[in-house]
Amino acid sequence: MAKAGPKSGEFNEGKFWFYRKNSVLTVGLTSLATDEIGQVESIEFPDEGGDFVKGDVVVTIEGSSGRLEVTTPASGIIHEINEQAKAEPDIVSEDPLEEGWLVKLEIQDASDLQEFANEDEEE
């Protein structure tokens, strides 16, 4: 029986987080990423319904100290974007783990996430 992949985890050197509920993956920044790019100034979101493969850039964030391209940890279709973060990008700096989520992705295959299951154990 194939494993479904983890319910949550971090990826891209701990800069992004995901949380999976059934086939919908919510993706956001970790505090490591917000520390690196500074105050979030603008966010370029994808269109809802857009189709992405694992590793594609889905969101581009401009901050006071740098720019960050957010990639997808799994292939899927953009289910929802965070309209509040689109209107008020600084919410991502202030609350990256809750209100400042970025996109929700309807994923086709949760096994795409399998590589993130034991990332903490790898050195």
Domain assignment of residue 29, given as a range: 8-108
Count how many domains the chain has: 1
Residue 117: pLDDT over 80: no
The tokens describing 110, both together, are 């949760």
Average pLDDT of the chain is 91
pTM value is 0.89
Q: Is residue 2 part of a domain?
A: no
- Cα–Cα dist 20/5, whole Å: 9
Residue 71: pLDDT over 80: yes
Q: Are 27 and 16 spatial neighbours (Cβ–Cβ below 8 Å)? A: yes
Q: What pLDDT does 122 receive? A: 40
CATH code for position 92: 2.40.50.100
What is the C-alpha R_g of the chain? Answer: 14
Q: Is residue 122 part of a domain?
A: no
Q: What pLDDT does 1 receive? A: 41
Q: Is residue 123 part of a domain?
A: no
- Cα–Cα dist 59/68, whole Å: 8
Q: Is residue 42 part of a domain?
A: yes
